[in-house]
């Protein structure tokens, strides 16, 4: 919407834009939204969250008492394709030996990369330990749990990986399948430049771009409007895991929140209604 540009975009708006009549040059962005003169979906969402209490959502009780999440997780592996020419079984992960405090201290966003080829075992370790399944099983009926937390253990966020210059791997976008620890080729017609056209990231020399997909139906039935907030939190946790594992494997990374959402969803054949790309992240060897 025209009214909701950042302050530094104030000169990009036309004064007589009807949608911006209350805001004019965009200098009064926040007051216009707060006073109700301009509409903001983000602000509406935050206000409405104030009236959502966990005790108001009856489905919570059903999910918790029935152990439905455990049952769902026990069978989610059946959604994965494990055979065929488009399935790439990942090798055993490369062992990661690093001090957590040192990783935290050294982590920083890097936007320019060397173009050095990534080992397949490094890719395996990055996906396994950042967004994959633990080897340990918890609970009854012993569903696999993951290396990151998720609201209600419903895991509505999955990861597509744009692979560029990884040994033994064809360039393209793959869906990471955590239960079989494999990659499913989704498309080999994907332009990183088109996806990140307005960004300053070095897509020519990166090794990976991770695209995070949120499927609303996986957690909305339990959490209602709270589902989106939980999915965004989950995505942030997953992204931080990727950053830390990348650093531990001597790679660098950078979040890329500004991307061409429609382009990605069209290429990945997502409907843009239930399935949405909500975040991306670039990984490569620092130049």
User: What's the pLDDT tens digit per position in 29-77?
Assistant: 667 777 776 678 888 888 877 666 655 567 778 888 888 898 899 899 9
Q: What is the pLDDT of residue 59?
A: 77
Query: 28-32, 75-79, 258-262, 273-277 — which is least confidently predicted?
Result: 28-32
pTM score of the predicted model: 0.87
Please tell me whether the peptide bond between 265 and the residue prior to it is cis, using omega within 30 degrees of 0: no
Q: Could you tell me if 145 and 153 are in contact, meaning their C-beta atoms sit under 8 angstroms apart?
A: yes
* Domains of the chain from N-terminus onward: 1-40 (no CATH), 52-284 (3.40.109.10)
* Per-residue confidence (pLDDT) for residue 48, from 0 to 100: 78
CB 273 within 8 A of CB 100: no
How far does CA 154 lie from the centroid of its chain? 15
């Amino acid at each position: 919407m025209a009214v909701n540009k950042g302050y530094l975009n104030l000169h990009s708006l036309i004064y007589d834009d009807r949608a911006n009549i209350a805001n004019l040059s965009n200098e009064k962005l926040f007051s216009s939204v707060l006073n109700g003169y301009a509409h903001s979906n983000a602000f509406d969402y935050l206000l409405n969250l104030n009236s959502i209490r966990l005790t108001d959502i009856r489905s919570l009780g059903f999910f918790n008492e029935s152990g439905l999440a455990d049952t769902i997780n026990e069978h989610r592996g059946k959604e994965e394709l494990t055979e065929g020419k488009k399935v790439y079984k990942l090798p055993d992960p490369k062992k990661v030996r690093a001090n957590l405090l040192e990783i935290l201290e050294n982590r920083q966003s890097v936007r320019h990369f060397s173009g050095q080829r990534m080992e397949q075992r490094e890719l395996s370790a990055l996906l396994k330990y950042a967004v994959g399944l633990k080897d340990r099983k918890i609970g009854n009926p012993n569903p696999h749990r993951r290396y990151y937390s998720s609201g209600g253990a419903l895991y509505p966020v999955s990861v597509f990986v744009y692979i560029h210059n990884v040994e033994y791997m064809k360039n393209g976008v793959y869906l990471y399948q955590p239960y079989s620890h494999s990659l499913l080729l989704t498309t080999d017609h994907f332009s990183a430049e088109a996806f990140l056209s307005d960004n300053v990231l070095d897509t020519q020399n990166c090794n990976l771009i991770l695209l995070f997909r949120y499927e609303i139906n996986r957690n909305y039935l339990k959490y209602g409007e709270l589902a989106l907030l939980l999915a965004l939190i989950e995505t942030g946790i997953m992204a931080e895991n990727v950053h830390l594992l990348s650093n531990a494997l001597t790679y660098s990374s950078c979040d890329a929140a500004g991307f061409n959402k429609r382009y990605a969803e069209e290429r990945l054949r997502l409907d843009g209604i239930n399935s949405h790309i909500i975040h991306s992240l670039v990984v490569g060897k620092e130049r």
